[in-house]
Amino acid sequence: PIPGTETLTKIFGFKFTKVNAQGEAVKGAKFTLSVAKDQNGVLPNSDKYPLEVTSGANGVVKFDGLKAGSYTVTETAVADGYQDFKASFTVAIDENGKVTFAGTDSWGLAPKDSAADYKVTNVKSVFELPKTGAAGIALFVVIAALLGGAAATVYAKSRRASRALR
């Protein structure tokens, strides 16, 4: 390089915690970090990515040595004993190192908003999934249908009983 033209590249990192539905740390979940597409939908060339990290005993997943930019984090393997619902979300790092977590997976296991203590959840059964969006509405529809069916059955039996008594 020409003297006086060196470029200072700032290096950053971020971390999040893998937890179960009760908020306890989960060890052994694997995540990959890849560079997100740019505004033109093109993936930057890099032989450094994807990076893979496994959550430790404290559930922490940490990625270091990153430039400012947008990244996609994808869970590639869930910890032993957990359902195979894999989270995926985006992480943006600005030029000052501020980290923003965004986007949510379809299961609601990765929060959609940024938080200082970002947590990604694993569940052992479908019943531990967050009851939000379509999944939450579907649950209420099923319960309402069951209650409606029970009410119709009770009504029909009471009409038969009242006719039989006449």
Mean pLDDT (whole number) for 14-18: 91
Confidence of residue 112 (pLDDT cuts 50, 70, 90): low
Domain boundaries of the chain, sorted by first residue: 12-124, 131-166
Helices (H), 6-132: none
146-153, long-range: CB < 8 A, 24+ apart = none
Quote the CATH superfamily of domain 12-124: Immunoglobulins (2.60.40.10)
What pLDDT digit, counting tens, does each position of 86-97 carry?
Answer: 888 888 888 898
Residue 26 burial (CB count, 10 A): 21
Would you give the end-to-end CA distance of the chain in angstroms? 104
Confidence of residue 84 (pLDDT cuts 50, 70, 90): confident
pTM of the predicted model, to two decimals?
0.64
At 106, list the tokens: 């379809």
Averaged confidence pLDDT in the chain: 79
